[in-house]
Every structure is written in structure tokens, then in C-alpha cells.
A and B are shown apart, each in its own frame.
Chain A
Amino acid sequence: MRNKNRILPCLFSLFILGVNLSPTYELSNQVITKYADDEVEVLNVYNWEDYIDEGDEEEGIPSLIEEFENKMLEEEGRRVSVVYSTFDTNETMLSELQTGKSSYDLICPSDYVIQKMIAEDLIQPYDDGSTPNYDKYVSPFVADKIDNIEVNGEKGIVSRYARGYMWGTLGLLYNPTFSGLEAKGITEDEMQEDMKDWLSLWDDKYSNLLAIKDSMRDTYAVGIMKTYNDDFELDGQNYEGFKTIKEKYLQGIYDEDTYNEKVSEIFNLNDSTTITRVGNDLQDLKNNAYGFEVDSGKTDMARGMYFAINVAWSGDAAWAMDMADENNENSTDPNYHETILKYAIPETGANIWFDGWVIPKNSQHKDLAQKFVDFLSTPQYAARNMNYIGYTPVIAGDEILDLVQSWYDLRYDEDSLSLDSSYLDGLTLVTKDEIDSLPEEEKEDKYYMKDISYFFEGTLENKDISDSIFAIGASEKDRQFDTQYPDSSLLPGLAVMADFGSQNADLLLMWENVKNTSLPLYAYILVLVAVVAIIIFYIVYKISKHNVKERRKARKEMRKDSSNAKKLLTEKL
């Protein structure tokens, strides 16, 4: 989850405070009363808000936390109580940890924060083989990305300190059905094509139609994709831009790994020159944009209001699409304007991110923490999480494939379900026969094939890897499925954005500068004139007051003098 500063939801949640806090409190209280003796082992978990399956009280589905507690009791006879708390930005969580006041056993920060935590020696590595399920079911694709993150110039460290949880990309959520597009003469196909390029955000055509993230790191990621799109020169050295690298990759000059390395290298440039350049581009972007948003964007997009393009995290994008679809279905208004959202990862590359579980140095229950992570990494429970939160887990495996197939694959066959399929309740399935019975030409119009075996490779047991080739409805192109699992041709262009380290202060200054509202020159002159006028007025006022006083004094003295003179005169006379 990448919601950095959730101002509005925070305030909204004040409104519905009871609802928001109750799961946490109830859970911990329940458990504490369940085992009212000293043998309870307490596991302190610190996670993002709404980032775990909280079950359904009405239908009696226990939350994953309760499931874990029950499992520990049944299988190992241990009385475990999970105290679950939530944070809303990486930064607040980190400063809590840095001050050393916290006592959490398990935290779920984002990739760059994990990097920072390792560098600052705040967390401890996992024991070898402590998470067998994770090792078995983690998608090789994500594991590879995690492995490739460098800490102090070394690779492979992050995977010793962290276990992935959810992952996603940063791309463009757009609304080709937006009502303002017609006036500008932008057609749906044209937009779909344009969204494959970050530069479209700077295009006049889309001015006032796009919203960017009010979050420093994410918007920097967008900016650098434009700044270094073409070949550039830095510190007297020539570099190839994103476009050239991509072309060379397509020509076969670079293989996948080299391509990814090159993209990551440029993507992670953060020297002062680069920051200034990106800052200038972001200034232009701000002028072209409708505005900034953090959390309100997904709701606005789902309602089809305000803007047609939104820089979005894949999880939010999928959420917005679901929301828009639901609105379309539920609408009874005959004049209702349907909103169909799509998501694109531009072809020159994009940011890939993940959140992972880490164990702080001062954790008292490392063993339990590892067990909890391993529990969440079981495909069965990961599938429940995926169904509940909408983000994509890093875990692959039969159950996940089942769930994804049931959502998206047209040929989905109910008989091919494996293991526990209780999480599929309430989903409508289209059978294999139904699509196979279509005539050949119609089939092509109606669906396309997509291979996501890169994600499931080596994690499947009962299912075959060929099951991860999907038949997707043609209208579903660039929709939820493509959002959650990017097309394999885009993968080498995805780069993890590292922590900015000591450059963070510079970046903050640049960001403040971008956000700053500069006034027109005459406004400054006016202010100056006003201030000077006020000061002069004040001085003149004081002087005139002073003069009045002086004059009064003088007059008094004069009167005194004259009366004295009179006295003298009368005395003399």
C-alpha cells in the first residue's frame, strides 16, 4: 500500500472512528479474555490500514489473525495473542521505530523503507528456513526483484531481512469515457495509445485532464521518466535515455537483465543536477495538470469526475475499476454516463514496488513473528487477503491461480478447482464449454491470450503451468487483470526505486519548490508598495502626533510665559 499521507481518510475516519478502530480493539480484547493467564504469548503486529483480511463478523468468517491464533493453539498448543495496530504513512512508522519507543515484533513497510531500516540497523534477519511456505510459494519474479535491491552496494541482503507481502506498479489510470474528452476531440483509441507514454502527461492535449500524486517519491518517479526519456549528459558523461534503451532491447542488443539494470540505474539517479532537472519538468507538469491528489483520486476516477487521467498505484487502480463497474451496474438513472476505467504501464518503464514484513531488532517474539509471516504466505490465506484487500500478494501457488482464473479467465472450469475453494463463494463463473462453443472469428474478437507464467513458475503443485495462460475478454484489455499482473513484455522495464538516503533533504526542497505557488511579479510589487505605504503612513502619523503634542506644549508654555509677563507687568506697574 502506497498511501503516504492520507489526510482526508484520516479526517473521515475520525468521523467513523468507532467503525475503524473496533476490529483492532475487539480482536486483542477478545483474545486476552480468551486466555486469561500468564502463558499468553503476545505478538505485536504493525501494518497498514485495511491491509489484511479482517473476516466478516456477520457471516462468521474469522479474520486471518484469529485463524492464526487458532492454528497456533491447535497445532502447537501455544496460546498466542496478536495485538494488531495500524499506521498510515511509512514516515510516521519509521520515526516511531527510530526513537526506539515502539515494541513491535513485525512491521510491514515499503521497499525503500526496508532498505533504510537495514542501513540504519533497525531490523534483524530471518532465520534460515524459518518461512518454508514463503520460500516455496513466493513468486520467482518478485523474489528476484527483491534480491536485486542493493543495500550499501550489495545485493541479496533485503531478501534476508524481509519477506514480501503485496506488490504492484505505478502507472496511469485513465478514463476513456470521461465527458470532457469529446470537447477536446480525443478518441478512446487515441487515448489508449497515448497512455503508453509518460510524455503524454506533458502534452497540451491533456492539460487540465490529469491528476498527479501529492507525494514526493511517486511524482519524482514520473518526472524522471520524462527528464531522461531521451539521451542525456550528466557530469560530462553521456547516458542513453529510457527510449534508446528500450529500442536497443527490442532490437535484441540488450538482453532482459541488461535492460532492467540500465533502466534501474537511470531511474535511481538522484544527484543534485538530476533533481534540479526533474524539478523543472515537474513544474511544467504541475502547470499542465488539473491538480494533485493522494487518496481522493481513486474515488474521483471511479465517479468519472474532475479528471480523466490519474497517476495511480495498481492496487488503487483495480479498486477504482471495481468501484466504477459497481456504480455502472447499480445506476438506475437513464441518463447515467457509464464510467469504464483502464490502466496502463507506459512502455519506457515504470516503478515496481512491494511491501514486506520485517522484524525489528528489539522484537521479543522473533519465532512467532516468523510463524505469522509464514502463515500469511500460505497460498490459501494469501488468496483470502487478495480477495479482501484487492492488492496483489507476492505469493503464487495453486489457490492464487484459482482465484485469479475464476475472476478473469473466460475458460474457467469449475471442476479444475483445487483444495479449499471456500474463498470463491459468490463469484459467477463462465465455463470452458461456453467459450469453446463460439465460432472461431467471434472468439478472436472476444478474447485475447495472456501468459502470466512468469509469476507462477515453480510454485504450482496440482495445477499445470499452462493454466497460467489466460483467455481474457477483449473488452477487458488494460483492465483489472492487466492491472494486477502486468504483461510479461513490460516486466524488464519495471524498476524498484531505492531510498534517496542523504539526498532526501535536497529532494524535499525541490518538491516544496514545485508545490510552491509563485505569484505574478506585480503582486510582489504591490505587496512591497503596500508595506512601504503602511510604514510611511505610520511614521507620518507619529510625527504629526508628536508635532501636535509639541505645539500644545509650546502653547502652554507661551500662555504661562504671557501670564508671567502679565504678572511682572502688573507688579511693575
Chain B
Amino acid sequence: MKYKYFRKGLALPFALFLILFVIIPILFIIFYAFTDNQGFFSFDAVVSFFTSTTKLNVLLVSILVGLFNTVLCLLIGFPLAYLLANPKFNKNYVLVMLFVMPMWINFVLRTGALRDLLSIVLGWFNTTNGEHPLFCTMVGMVTNYLPFTILPLYSTMLKLDKSQIEAAQDLGCNPFKTFTRNIIPQTLPGLVSASMMVFMPTISSYVISDTLSEGKIMLFGNSIYLSFSNSDWNGGSFMSLIMLIIIFIVMFATKKFQGNGSERRLSAW
């Protein structure tokens, strides 16, 4: 009995941390989202959000950019992770480190450097960053979020059951069918958590889109920032709440693809 209590006690610091830095801030957001600037209960922020085509459009654009980024990251990250998980190509984990290493460099510096690089590359084609805001933003997004896709995929790929694949091939599956019927279902938890790691942060990110699109593409994060910096706390809070709701929806929708506990723990490194 005592032992059990002791084990529970170990969770106390974490619970305290959660309450202080997660629950209380969310309560603050909810409070601001449903009050006016005098602090009285009101639906002003809600109404002004849903009646503003601009804000809805920003949300739509962000979701599209997020989806686009997720698809691109998965397309590039999936084969890469497959190769990395193959011991023939990747001895001693070194290649994985190479992909993770850029994340150790300050992200603003990385983005700034990418901006310079892009302007040189685009210069060869006689064009500039400012003329291709979407292209530049997408390049920035993919380079920034690729490691976040590779790692969860890599960890599920490591546990890929090779004998199943062989069995599928032996029983007459062509390579495409082996892939869709066998590899994808086996790596589904990794795919889902990789998408989650990319999709939500993309929508709320604003430094990448601000720097690389030269301020021409406004994502939801930029919009929230704009509200707060113009002391529209209530509107900004409501938009943050929308973000939270989207996170919950996405989490709920992908719950059944998340795999069992051990896989989830591995993929959400």
C-alpha cells in the first residue's frame, strides 16, 4: 500500500507542472476568449471571428499550407526513414544524426540563412524571393519540419516485421501491393504521429512564413500575433482557442490509428 502511494507521489511534480503551465494558461485563454475588454462575459470575439472573411480565409490558407507541408514532408520523409532504418545503408546511427543535427542550430538563424540561400538560387533563374512567397515558405517549412517526420517514422520502421513483407511477396503480392497492404499498415502509427508533429506547428508558426514569404503570406499564427500586438487580447485568445480545438479534433480523429501504447511512446519522442 505504502509503496503504491510513493509511486503516485512521484507523479506530483509533473502534475504540478501541468497545472501551472498547461491548465492555468488554457483557463486564461478561455477567460479572455469569452470576455470583452472590460472583463465582462461576451461573445464579441466569437462573433467577430466568424463574421470576418479575412480571418476565416487566413485559417483556410493555414490549413492548406499545413496539409501541403504534411504531404510533402511525408513524401520525402517516408523513403528516407525507410532507408535509414535499413542497417545496410545506415550503420551506427550516423545518418540519423545528420538529419537531426540542423535542429541544434537556432531556428531563426537557420531560417535567415535559408532566405539568403534561396535568393541566390532564385537569382539564377532571374527571379526573387518576393515573387515566389509560397514557394519560399514551403521550402522553409519542409526543411524545418522534415526531421520531425523522419524521427517518428524511423522509430516505427525499425520495428518493421521483415518476415511479414517476405510472406506478402511469397504469397504473390506485387511491390505496390506489398507497400499498400503491408508496409503502410505496419507504419501507420508512425505516419500519424509524424503528420501530427508537422501539421499543427505549421499552422501556428509565424517566423518562417514571415521571414521567407517576406511578410506576404499570413498564417494563423501571424494573425494571432497581430491581434495581441494591437492589444486585441480577446480576439487573439479566441483564435488561440480555435487552434486548441483543432488540435483536439485532429487528436480525436487520429486516435484509433495511434497504435498501442508502446508504439505511441516511441513515436512521440
> Closest residue to B230 on the A side, CB-wise?
A508
* B54: chain A residues within 8 A (beta carbon): 509, 512-513, 516
B204 interface contact, C-beta 8 A: no
- Min C-beta distance of A10 to chain B, whole Å: 10
A7 interface contact, C-beta 8 A: yes
Interface string of B203-217 (1 = CB under 8 A from A): 000110011011111
* B119: chain A residues within 8 A (beta carbon): 305-306
CB-contact partner of A306 in B108, B129, B226, under 8 A = B129
- Interface size on B (CB < 8 Å)? 38
| Contact B231–A306 (Cβ < 8 Å) | no
Interface-side segment among B55-63, B90-98, B170-178: B55-63
B223 interface contact, C-beta 8 A: yes
Query: Which of A290, A291, A513 is most buried by chain B, counting CB atoms within 10 A of its CB?
Result: A291
- Interface size on A (CB < 8 Å)? 41
- Further contacts, 20 of them, CB under 8 A, given A508-B226, A513-B54: A8-B108, A8-B207, A12-B108, A91-B229, A91-B231, A208-B131, A211-B214, A214-B210, A290-B129, A291-B129, A291-B130, A291-B133, A292-B215, A293-B215, A509-B52, A512-B226, A516-B54, A517-B57, A517-B61, A517-B216
* A12: chain B residues within 8 A (beta carbon): 108
User: Within the assembled complex, what's the spacing in Å between the Cα atoms of A130 and B9?
Assistant: 62
User: Within the assembled complex, what's the spacing in Å between the Cα atoms of A378 and B140?
Assistant: 50
* A293: chain B residues within 8 A (beta carbon): 214-215
* A512: chain B residues within 8 A (beta carbon): 52, 54-55, 58, 218, 223, 226
| Contact B229–A517 (Cβ < 8 Å) | no
* B116: chain A residues within 8 A (beta carbon): 305
- Min C-beta distance of B113 to chain A, whole Å: 13
* B214: chain A residues within 8 A (beta carbon): 211, 290-293, 306
A289 interface contact, C-beta 8 A: yes
User: Within the assembled complex, what's the spacing in Å between the Cα atoms of A208 and B218?
Assistant: 19
| Contact A91–B222 (Cβ < 8 Å) | no
B128 interface contact, C-beta 8 A: yes
| Contact B211–A8 (Cβ < 8 Å) | yes
| Contact A519–B61 (Cβ < 8 Å) | yes
| Contact B216–A94 (Cβ < 8 Å) | no
Interface string of A1-26 (1 = CB under 8 A from B): 00011011001100100000000000
| Contact B60–A527 (Cβ < 8 Å) | yes
Interface residues of B in 40-58 (CB under 8 A from A): 52, 54-55, 57-58
> Closest residue to B235 on the A side, CB-wise?
A508
User: Within the assembled complex, what's the spacing in Å between the Cα atoms of A4 and B130?
Assistant: 22
| Contact A15–B131 (Cβ < 8 Å) | no
- Given contacts A91-B229, A508-B232, whether A516 and B210 have CB atoms under 8 Å apart is no
**24 pairs from A and B in contact (CB 8 Å cutoff):** A5-B225, A5-B229, A7-B206, A7-B225, A8-B112, A11-B207, A15-B106, A208-B131, A214-B215, A290-B129, A290-B214, A291-B130, A291-B215, A292-B215, A296-B211, A305-B119, A306-B130, A508-B232, A512-B55, A515-B215, A517-B216, A517-B218, A519-B57, A527-B60
User: Within the assembled complex, what's the spacing in Å between the Cα atoms of A511 and B229?
Assistant: 13
- Min C-beta distance of A333 to chain B, whole Å: 16
User: Within the assembled complex, what's the spacing in Å between the Cα atoms of A210 and B211?
Assistant: 15
* B100: chain A residues within 8 A (beta carbon): none
B64 interface contact, C-beta 8 A: yes
User: Within the assembled complex, what's the spacing in Å between the Cα atoms of A438 and B165?
Assistant: 90
| Contact B130–A307 (Cβ < 8 Å) | yes
- Given contacts A11-B108, A512-B55, whether A291 and B216 have CB atoms under 8 Å apart is yes
A366 interface contact, C-beta 8 A: no
- Min C-beta distance of B57 to chain A, whole Å: 6
User: Within the assembled complex, what's the spacing in Å between the Cα atoms of A305 and B118?
Assistant: 12
User: Within the assembled complex, what's the spacing in Å between the Cα atoms of A505 and B48?
Assistant: 11
| Contact B231–A94 (Cβ < 8 Å) | yes
User: Within the assembled complex, what's the spacing in Å between the Cα atoms of A509 and B53?
Assistant: 10
A504 interface contact, C-beta 8 A: yes
> Closest residue to A287 on the B side, CB-wise?
B216
- Min C-beta distance of A351 to chain B, whole Å: 19
* A94: chain B residues within 8 A (beta carbon): 231
Interface string of A420-460 (1 = CB under 8 A from B): 00000000000000000000000000000000000000000
